[in-house]
A = this chain, B = another copy of it.
Amino acid sequence: MSLPTRPLDDDIAIARRAKLKPIGEIAAALGLREEEWEPYGRYKAKLSLAILERLKDRPDGKLILVTSMNPTPAGEGKSTVTVGLGQALNRLGKRAIVALREPSLGPNMGVKGGAAGGGYSQVVPMEDINLHFTGDFHAITTAHNTLSALIDNHLHQGNALRLDPRRIVWKRVLDLNDRALRRVVVGLGGPANGVPREDGFDITAASEVMAVLCLATSRSDLKARLARMVIGYTSDRKPVTVGDLGAQGAMAVLLKDALLPNLVQTLENTPALIHGGPFANIAHGCNSLVATKMALKLGEYVVTEAGFGVDLGAEKFLHIKCRTGGLQPAAAVVVATVRALKMHGGVPKDRLHEENLDALRNGLANLEKHLETLDKFHLPAVVAVNRFYTDTEREWNVLAERARERGVPLAFADVWARGGEGGLELAEQVVALAEGADRRGTVRFLYDVNEPLRTKIETIAREVYGADGVRYTAQAEKQMAQIEANGWGRLPVCMAKTPYSLSDDPTRLGRPTGFTLTVRELRPAVGAGFVVALTGDVLTMPGLPKAPAALKMDIDDEGNVYGLF
């Protein structure tokens, strides 16, 4: 994601000029012992889970969540601000660590653009991070599909568990954009090739194994969560789990190294833990809990992000990840752009580069709703205006003035073009918020997990989205009854909703009112530990565009990559 204040070199050119430190130096500066990390190339490392045990009595650093207003489809530069803020905090003399998600490989082959920050606020080595990195996604793909193969083999070998082949919910995955695999029939070609049945492939980021890995707190917890995952139902609707099949051990073996956080650095040598990358709609959209917990033991400040805006990312970060891991964030940064504000104020996409003060003022309603939401969570927030070169001075003045009027902390960030230097004002405000009062133990959850699913969903819809209420399709009603009958009703809820609107209609921008949220489907993710509530069609396997980025990629004899970013 790149929203420069002025046109500059492209990300890869900037990244290639960076002076990286050997990863051992980064590890040593974090106080890690030699045996606590393993190199993967010169500039990447896997960190041992033993670090968590050794430092268990050390107090945690301060956790800062970077989130945003409802974004435009291009995104508002949240990862770039996260990286830039980490760099800026280091410049202020705070030992800061950045904790990000791993990018998915599939989308890189579709639309040009990696996912490792941008400009002078990137994590590096960016080619590696955007390609196979340390193999975590491939390990998850393999663990997921090994379970699929074991399920079909179980059907083929006599089906002792009496799985109904029509009621298998465990699909297959690949880390690719491949629409032709969304719906397939497998097991064709006669009795030697298994039992024919309908199936489909999701992208790896949508695998429940990914969500499980990102919420597991230890190897035993990982296995226990894998064992709880539902693979299908018998013909009399009894759930069959991975534990019933006995596949959790093999899956945990395949995830042996994938469970370990990855250490890299930013362009300014700020340590970065990049680990896990679950979908932000049918999953919770945060980096792994073990990486965040480890970062909190190793740094004074940990800057992390969650997918999409406050309504989806921050809500799930708080209600799912923080609740699961007992995390207490100290402050939130809400990224806004002049461009997104104007879009929420009614400007069409192709005229966002034109100055429009009225639209900007109108669009502020969207941002303000998100600030109110964070306030309900008792999480202090600062607005970070991520500057873009099409912004005007007058537009910035409107924002600054409104913030003063409302008493909202606001900082302009220019981290794309200036790196940490461009984030100093933001960093100072973050420190003021996080250190101004003791923030530990003060986050308030908006619902209790023991409430009925209906109550939990209603609370999110009303309190976070501003809906008047919730309507359920007949299918969703039936699924809710089944989920509660199976004893899964006390899990937190994971909302799948369009990220572009506060409502479930992507065209209703700004701060919509008078709407009812429609829940179409409920899916239990028992291993991950939440019930997904889908409010619209969610594509869990993307397709490639007419002119895929892949067809422009190349590599020379020295191994330099072109066209990936």
Contacts and interface: CB of A to CB of B under 8 A. Distances in A.
A477 interface: no
Contacts of A561: 253, 256
Query: In the assembly, how many copies of this chain are there?
Result: 2
A42 B45 CA distance: 11
Interface residues of A, number: 80
Contacts of A149: 109, 176-178, 180-181, 544
A363 to B, nearest CB: 32
Interface in A432-486: none
Given A135-B132, A247-B551, A180 B152 contact: yes
A405 to B, nearest CB: 47
Interface stretch (A191-199, A266-274, A326-334): A191-199
A194 B179 CA distance: 6
A205 interface: no
A156 to B, nearest CB: 7
Contacts of A180: 149, 152-153, 155-156, 186-187, 193-195
A364 B215 CA distance: 60
Interface stretch (A33-41, A67-75, A340-348): A33-41
Interface string A131-167: 1100100110110011011101101111000000000
A325 interface: no
A152 B198 CA distance: 19
B132 A142 contact: yes
Contacts of A250: 109, 550-551, 553
A142 B105 contact: yes
B178 A152 contact: yes
A141 B556 CA distance: 22
Contact of A219 (B145, B181, B559): B559
Interface string A547-565: 0101111111101011110
A218 interface: yes
A185 interface: yes
A239 interface: no
A4 to B, nearest CB: 25
- Identify whether the interface residues of A are mostly helix, strand, loop, or mixed: mixed
A185 B182 contact: no
A253 B183 contact: no
Interface string A511-548: 00000000000000000000000000000000110101
A39 B22 CA distance: 12
A176 B183 CA distance: 20
Contacts of A543: 153, 156, 192, 194
A530 to B, nearest CB: 25
Contacts of A506: none
A397 interface: no
B148 A178 contact: yes
Nearest to A157: B546
Interface in A376-420: none
Contact of A183 (B193, B555, B559, B563): B193
A194 B180 CA distance: 5
A528 to B, nearest CB: 20
A544 B155 CA distance: 12
B40 A131 contact: no
A131 B188 contact: no
A267 to B, nearest CB: 21
Contact of A41 (B38, B184, B548): B38
Contacts of A487: none
B175 A249 contact: no
A245 interface: yes
A174 interface: yes
Nearest to A563: B249
A189 interface: yes
A246 interface: yes
Contacts of A127: 256
Nearest to A260: B559
A173 to B, nearest CB: 10
A116 interface: no
Contacts of A494: none
Nearest to A151: B180
Interface of A: 38-42, 46, 49, 105, 109, 127, 131-132, 135, 138-139, 141-142, 145-146, 148-150, 152-153, 155-158, 174-189, 192-195, 198, 218-220, 223, 245-247, 249-250, 252-254, 256-257, 543-544, 546, 548, 550-557, 559, 561-564
20 contacts: A109-B250, A131-B253, A138-B138, A145-B178, A153-B180, A155-B180, A156-B543, A158-B546, A179-B193, A180-B193, A184-B184, A188-B198, A219-B555, A219-B557, A220-B557, A223-B555, A249-B552, A249-B562, A250-B550, A253-B564
In the A-B complex, the 4 residue pairs with the smallest Cβ-Cβ separation, listed nearest first, are: A183-B189, A138-B138, A152-B180, A250-B550
Given A109-B146, A138-B141, A253-B553, 19 more contacts: A38-B41, A38-B42, A39-B40, A109-B150, A127-B256, A132-B135, A132-B139, A132-B142, A152-B180, A153-B178, A153-B543, A179-B194, A182-B193, A183-B187, A219-B555, A219-B559, A249-B555, A253-B554, A253-B555
